[in-house]
Amino acid sequence: MDDELDQTGKRGAARRASEGAMSAPRDVRARRGLLEMMETPEVVLTASGEETLGIADEVIDKINNEFPAEALRCPLNEERRKIANRIAILVRQQALARRLSMSTKTFQTVCAEIERRLLGLGFLDRLLPPARTDLTEIAVYSSGLVQVMRKGEVRWETVEMFLRDAEIWRVLDRILGPQNKVLNEANPSVNARLPSSESNPGGGRVKALHPVIVPPGRNPAVNIRLFEQKPVRPEWILEKGMASAEVMDFLSEEIQGGEKILITGGTRTGKTTLLSALCNYLPEGWRIVKIEEPQEIWIDRPTVQTLEARPAAIGTEVKPYTLADGVDDALRISPDYLIVGEVRDGRAALALFRALMTGHSGSSTFHANTPEEALERLATVMGADAGVGRADAMGMIGSAIDLIVQLGIRGEVRRVVSVTAVRPQAKRIEPLLIPLFRFRPGSAANCPQWEQLFLDGREPREEGLPHGTSGIAGARQTRTDERKNEGAQ
């Protein structure tokens, strides 16, 4: 009997609670129902990862239909709040329609992910500042794999991240659209900028490849090189063991004296980083003009004018603006110092060397593994792209370049491998190469050492290289002898 009374009492309490709920205003009942949907998982099915992705896609489609494209591309603070509120409402509605339950944490995660995909750069926001400030490069494979490279490292590491091709395309559209660029089968390779922002002031460089040229073609292949978040100081070069204080002091004197410097090295050896650091030594008040593709070097002073090369716009009559065009224009705006971010073809090399031969001071970077290879490759590209004969090219290089700073990776660390003076020779085609500093390969990784071989590019030290070593052939023979000596030790 007591059990029956107890059950009757419980049923009466439940009925009164139900009647009280029905007597509440309609909007209160609606909010209460949504809240119960979010916090009472036993009433409905719990949302799985695949189901939350479906909700996100549905909400994104609705937001794209409700708000203009410009508001989504560059939302003001008030517009951003409106969009965020609308996202929250639509997520609740979708969960209710599918009879799915989400915990408060899952609900917030889904809303934040939708905001990233609509108003930010989607999955990239999890790899870019302020989320992460320790990366220099991001790679998305055509298979969907994602890898990153940390600052100061030279090897890639894999990031556990599930990406769908639609999201990668959406992120690319957000990056390429404002730059009037498109990635498709007719234009399967695109270079673009990652725009700078308050949290990522350095921006970055983007390379995107269409699935038709990157098997297995599940999605586009994307590579993003992130630029420094702040100007590179010479102290940073010393802290990382990239060069010694003696080497940096020497380069400081040379660049302040207006010497013309070419920084060479392989991919990811730190060429642009070192050039950015050396620019700190330029005298205050100098008018610096830099030509880049895209803008990458960050010089922290007001007297800098940047010219940025661009390709021809596909399907339009817009002409390309090349690095060579930039050098020609730079000469007409009276620079004290000229910087070309990277010499990539023979026409740019010809324009730069012409400028440096007419009394202008400047610096640039170039892909080469040794100073000798730099001379040969420069002569080759000048011949192939600009029709300059080898003898004329070598003569121009000898007259236009004073120093070659060679970079490389030694013991998994980026190093200045050598500093070499370049001098023209009256009776020989090839310039004279005089090694000034050289990284000592046998030095410990935590205590790198450099040795000075010649003083001021003229007189050899007693323990330096022998007299009579000149030109590419001589430098190659010297390097061969050095390797033999190292092997004998």
> What is the identity of the amino acid at 16?
R
Residue 388: per-residue pLDDT: 96
What is the distance between the alpha carbons of residues 360 and 99, in angstroms, rounded to a whole number?
Answer: 72
* Ranges 4-18, 72-86, 144-158, 365-379: which has the least confidence: 4-18
Q: What is the mean pLDDT of residues 483-487?
A: 47
Domains located in the chain, CATH noted: 30-119 (no CATH), 124-226 (3.30.450.90), 234-488 (3.40.50.300)
- Listed in sequence order, the residues at least 6 apart from 167 whose beta carbon sits closer than 8 Å to its beta carbon are 117, 122, 123
Task: Report the run of H or E that residue 410 belongs to, with start and end.
Answer: strand 403-410
Structure tokens at 374: 């730099």
Helix, strand or coil, per DSSP, at residue 425: coil
- Give me the pLDDT at residue 46, please: 62
Asked which of 51-60, 151-160, 376-385 is least confident by mean pLDDT, the reply is 51-60
Any residues with CB less than 8 A from the CB of 485 and at least 6 apart, and which?
none
Where helices occur in 145-270 by DSSP H, the ranges are 165-176, 234-239, 245-256
What single-letter amino acid sits at 150?
Answer: R
Is the pLDDT score of 3 beyond 60? no
Q: Which amino acid is present at 227?
A: F
**pLDDT class for 101, splitting at 50, 70, 90?**
confident
pLDDT of residue 152: 83
User: Does residue 208 surpass a pLDDT of 50?
Assistant: yes
Residue 207 has pLDDT above 70, yes or no: yes
Per-residue pLDDT band at 247 (split at 50, 70, 90): very high
* Average pLDDT of the chain, as a whole number: 84
| pLDDT for residue 202 | 84
Residue 211: cis peptide before it, omega within 30 degrees of 0: no
What mean pLDDT is predicted for residues 371-375?
A: 97
Q: What mean pLDDT do residues 64-89 have?
A: 86
CA 436 from chain center: how many Å? 32
Q: How far is CA 101 from CA 79, 86, 97, in A?
A: 29, 19, 11
Q: For residues 441 and 266, what is the distance between their CA atoms, to the nearest angstrom? A: 18
Q: What per-residue string of b and e applies to 374-392 under the rule 16 or more CB within 10 Å gives b?
A: bbbbbbebbeebbebeeee
Distance separating alpha carbons of residues 231 and 277, to the nearest angstrom? 8
**CB distance 100 to 46 below 8 Å:** yes
Which segments of 141-244 are extended strands (E)? 146-150, 157-159, 189-194, 204-209, 221-226
- DSSP SS3 for 192: strand
Residue 452 token pair: 């000075």
Residues in Cβ contact with 332 at an 8 Å cutoff, skipping those fewer than 6 apart:
none
CA dist 44 and 94 (Å) reads 13
Partners of 439 in the β-ladder: 450
**pTM greater than 0.85 (yes/no):** no
Tell me how far CA of residue 332 lies from CA of 299, 329, 352, in angstroms.
21, 5, 14
Q: Which residue has the higher pLDDT, 284 or 312?
A: 284
Contact 338, 289 (CB under 8 A): yes
pLDDT tops 90 at residue 401: yes
Q: Any idea which of 44-53, 127-136, 173-182 has the lowest mean pLDDT?
A: 44-53
Separation CA 124–CA 137 (nearest Å): 11
Tell me the mean pLDDT in the region 108-115. Answer: 89
Apex CA 309: angle with CA 305 and CA 310, to 5°? 140
- Looking at the chain, the number of H-run helices and the number of E-run strands are 15, 19
- DSSP E strand stretches across 320-381: 337-340, 362-367
